[in-house]
Structure 1
Amino acid sequence: MRSKAKTVAFGLLTAVAAAVCVRLGIWQLDRLNQRRAQNAIVSVRGAEQPLSLAMLQGQDTSITHWRRVRVEGVADYSRELVHATRTQNGSPGVHLLTPVRPIDGSWGDTAIVILRGYLYSADGRTVDLDKAREQDTLRMEALLISFPPPRPGQATMQSSPRAMRLLDRDTIGTLVGRPVAPFMLLALGDTIMQDISRPTRVPPPPVTDGPHLSYALQWFSFATVFVLGYVFFARTRRR
C-alpha cells in the first residue's frame, strides 16, 4: 500500500510539473503571436511615406508608433542628455538624447527629443559631448518611438546630473528646461561604428520572431520528459 501511495503521489507531482511546463509553453506561443502582430504593424508603418514633424501634432502615438519621420530642426546641444549604461555590439556606452526645435515652428516651445545615436563610453556614462556634435540644423529620417512606461527610482544619476538611468519624460523636460513632446525619435542611418568619438546610429528593433518558439518547444519537451519519466518509474515499480 505504501508503495502504491508513493507511486500515486509521484504521479500527482509529475502531472503538476507537466501542466506547468505546458502552460509556460502556451504562454510563449502567445508571446510569439503578439510579436508577429507587432512585426506586421512595424513593417506596414515602416513602408508608409514619412511624416513631417508638423503632422505629428495632436496624433495618437499608438497610431504613429514606428512611423518614419522627416526631421528638420535646430539641435540644442547645450541641453543634451545621455541615457547611461547602454551597449552596442558588446561595447559599453551611452545613447545621446538631443532636444530639437523644428524649423517650421510647428511645436512652439516644445522640444522634440531625438535619440541621436550610440557613443562609446568606458564607464557607461561619461562622454565628450562637444566632439559628438553634428550640424546645428539636423536633417534626417527617424523612427517614432514611445517613452517607456514610468518606473520607480531616480531617473538621473547622482554622479552625472545629465546622465539618465531611466527615460522619464517629466525629468527630461525639467533638465531640458521646456516641455517635451510625448514621443521620441530614433535617428536612422549608419549603424557601423567608424570613430569612437562620433555617434553611431542605433539600429531599430529587428523584425524577427525572437526566441519564443524555441522557448515553447523547450517547455513542451520538459513536459514530455516528466510524463515519460513517470511512465518508466511506474512500470519499474510494478515489476
Structure 2
Amino acid sequence: MNKWRFALQKRWFGYLGVAILFAIICVMLSNWQLSRRDEREVEIDRVNRNFDATPVQIEDVLPTLDGFNENDRWLPVEVTGTYLPEKELLVRNRPHDGQPGYEILTPLQLDNGNIFVVNRGWIPTGNDADRPESVPRPPSGEVTVVARLKAGEAEIKGRGAPEGQLATIRLDDAAATFGQPTYTGAYGLLASESPESPDPRPAEVKRPEPDEGPHLSYAFQWIIFALMAFGFLGYAVREEYRRVNSDDPEENRRATERARKKALRVTDADIEDELLDGKH
C-alpha cells in the first residue's frame, strides 16, 4: 500500500476532478450532437411526408393569419387570388448554387381580401449591386397557386435593406408594407401557378437533401475524448508510480523482465524478413 501513497496527494485528487469535469462536458456535447441529429431526422421525415403531398386548402392548415404548425412545413397548399406586383418585395443576399441574388416575394390577394405571401423564386444580381437586372412578372388576373409552406424568418440585427427590399423574410415587415391583412405565420414557396407567367420563371427552391450531417460521428468523438481523459490520468499515475518506486528492487526486477520480454518478442514481420534474407 505504501507504494501507492503518492496517489493520495491533493494534486491527484485535483487531476481526477479535472478529468471528471472534462468528461462531463464531453458527454454533454455528445448529447447535444445526438439531439441535433434527432432534429435532422425529424426534418428529413417531414420533407418525405409533406414535400410531394396532395395540395390542401390554405384554411385547413392556416386557420388564423398568424398561426403555423411546424409539422406542416413543406406541405403544399392551393390558393386562388390575384398577384399584386406593385407591392412586390425583393429579399437581398440570398445565395443559390453558390451565386448571390434575390428572392421575389409577391403578395397574392385572396377573394376574402387577405394576402398570402408567395416566394416566386430566385434571380441573380445584376451589374448594380442593389438591384437585379430585371424581375420576371407574375401572371395577371386570377391565378391558382400551389406553394409549399415555410415559417417566416427572424430579424437580423444591424442588417438593413433599401426601399422595396427586405434583409430577411420577416413576414411582419412584409405585412407592414402591404397595409392589408396578411398571413404572418407562414409564406409559400412557389411550386406551380396557373396560368403561368409569360416571363421566364425564377429559379425554384430545390427539395432538401436527406442529409443527417456528421452529428453521430461527432457524438462518438466526444465520448472518445471523455475516455481519453481517464486514459491520460491512468498513464500519469503509472509513470508517477514507477518514478516513486524506482529504488524498489522488486519493481526494478519487474521492469527488467518486461524489457527482456519486449526485446525477445518476435513478430510475424520479423520472421518474414528473416525468411526473405535467407533467400539471398
Q: Which has the higher helix share?
A: 2
Cα distance between partner residues in 2 of 1:100 and 1:125: 25
Decide whether aligned partners of structure 1 residues 205 and 125 sit closer, same or farther in structure 2, where only a CA change above 3 A counts. Answer: farther
Task: For residue 203 of structure 2, give the secondary structure of its aligned residue in structure 1.
Answer: coil
Residues 176-232 of structure 1, C-alpha deviations (whole Å, 9 max, x = no match)? 23221132001237xxxxxxx962112243333233213212322322332222222
Question: Which residue does 2:253 correspond to in 1?
Answer: none
| Segment of structure 1 superposing worse, 48-57 or 179-188 | 48-57
Distance 1:206 1:90, change over 3 A: same
Change (3 A) 1:57 1:237: closer
Inter-CA distance 2–46: structure 2 relative to 1 (3 Å threshold): closer
User: CA offsets, 1:110-132, max 9 Å, x none?
Assistant: 2111111122226875224x442
> How far apart, in 1, do the equivalents of 2:217 and 2:232 lie?
22
How far apart, CA to CA, are the structure 1 residues paired with 2:155 and 2:121?
Answer: 23
Gaps of 5+ in 2: 1-5, 193-199, 243-280
Give how far 1:80 is off: 1.1
Determine the C-alpha separation between the residues in 1 that align with 2:172 and 2:83.
20
Q: Which amino acid aligns with 2:191?
A: L
Within a 5 Å distance, the mapping from 1:35-46 to structure 2 comes to 35-46=40-51
Cα offset, 1:22, TM superposition:
1.0
Name the residue aligned to 2:124.
120
Query: Given the alignment of the two structures, is residue 135 of structure 1 paired with residue 139 of structure 2, yes or no?
Result: yes
- AA aligned to 1:77 is P
Structure 2 match to 1:232: 235
Specify the SS of the correspondent of 2:100.
strand
Q: Which residue of 1 aligns with 2:68?
A: 61
How many angstroms does 1:71 deviate by? 4.4
Aligned residue for 2:179? 177
Distance in 2 of aligned mates of 1:20 and 1:210: 22
Residue number among 49, 52, 61 corresponding to 2:54 in the alignment: 49
Count, aligned residues: 224
Decide whether the 8 Å contact of 2:156 with 2:167 is kept in 1: no
CA contact (8 A) 1:155 1:168 kept: no
Residues 1:28 and 2:36 aligned together: no
Asked if residue 80 in structure 1 is aligned to residue 88 in structure 2, the reply is yes
Identical-pair percentage: 23
Q: Aligned pair in 2 of structure 1 residues 76, 132: CA closer, same or farther (>3 Å)?
A: same
- 1:168 aligns to what? 170
Determine whether 1:202 maps to 2:199. Answer: no
Provide the C-alpha distance between the structure 2 equivalents of 1:168 and 1:155, rounded to a whole number of angstroms. 12
Contact 1:155 1:164 in 2 (8 A): no
> Is the partner of 1:127 in helix, strand or coil?
coil
Q: 1:115 to 1:218 in 2, by over 3 A?
A: farther
Say which SS state the counterpart of residue 133 (structure 1) adopts. Answer: coil
Residue 16 of structure 1 deviates from its aligned partner by: 0.7
Secondary structure of 1:235's counterpart equals: helix
Gaps of 5+ in 1: 190-196
Distance 1:206 1:57 in 2: 26
Give the TM-score of the pair, scaled to structure 2. 0.68
Greater fraction of residues in strand: 1
